[in-house]
Structure 1
């Protein structure tokens, strides 16, 4: 197990996939399984890593972005694999997720998504990684009774990921100016 210094993630929780993703998290590193009941391991990252110690002004900026964004629906049904072997679900439509990521990145340019390692950041939910006995087909079979997931995106969570200390620090409702 690798010791993590911890990092923050602005994310959208995907409750219907929590059981599966939590189990896979425990398989790889049980120290990242959270005891916080509001923490959702199954998530779509909007911006990570984010600030380790955000100020109240930083939190207020995220609150403003959430307040300006309307809640929306998306579907997670398509299992795909990135070139590095990461098996994931794509959101369709993904434009509202991309818009949230762009808004957060514009507000916090010092925190490019995934440290700027990828050109086109694809909104996705990580399921697993290709390995012996783990393929997109085996993952699809495991999730056969769950997919497609129809998701109402109505909040942004500020998650903290650290060994033995994963928890939600803040949460904001998407209110679309209401």
Structure 2
């Protein structure tokens, strides 16, 4: 049967959508969604979700103000994940804390103090920070606006938007 999939509560990063779609297609085109509401480029708020509280997500979104953010430099985690760092970690951590309160069974990013980020790639013999920065040439810094929470489903050939809630109601 394979991986059953899971949902992700996320903030879309429209400015990098084309770049992320290209990298995703490079690795596994099954994760390219044909749902026009689905955003591949995102900063995760909480994952993995196998069940969720829609009312709590709506309340969190309504009580959270939209904010601008910048993705300014490429870095790596110890596990080899290459990511873009955001200057608004406090605001994203507040969203994660609110979502986690409603879904205490989920450990955000598998830990207790997650670092908000946009995943770009993974270290390998062919991929590194320098090669990723070269592919991003001219795109950084990215100036985005967090104005919605999206709940999306991830599973190969089944990626789609479940729901979207504007920040601030």
Tell me how many residue pairs correspond in the alignment. 169
TM-score, normalised to structure 2's length?
0.95
Does the aligned pair in 2 maintain the 1:3–1:163 contact within 8 Å?
no
Structure 2 partner of 1:44 = 43
Q: What is the SS of the residue equivalent to 2:37?
A: coil
- Equivalent of residue 158 in structure 1, options 151, 154, 158: 151
Structure 1 match to 2:119: 126
Q: Match of 1:23?
A: 22
Shift of 1:85: 0.8
5+ long unaligned stretches in structure 2: none
Cα RMSD (Å): 1.4
Which consecutive segments of 4 or more residues in structure 1 shift more than 6 A?
none
Partner of 2:132: 139
- Encode CA deviations 1:40-96: one digit per residue, 9 max, x unaligned: 11111000012x344xxx101110010000000110011100011110001102110
Q: 1:99 to 1:10 in 2, by over 3 A?
A: same
| 1:66–1:155 contact (8 Å) kept in structure 2 | yes
Describe the SS at the equivalent of 2:165. strand
* 1:68 equivalent in structure 2: 63
* Secondary structure of 1:151 counterpart: strand
Equivalent residues of 1:113, 1:121 under 8 A apart: yes
Structure 1 gap ranges (5+): none
**What secondary structure does 2:3 align onto?**
coil
TM-score (normalizing by structure 1): 0.90
Deviations 1:17-54 (A, max 9, x none): 1111111111111111100111111111000012x344
- Quote the Cα distance in structure 1 between the aligned partners of 2:112 and 2:129: 23
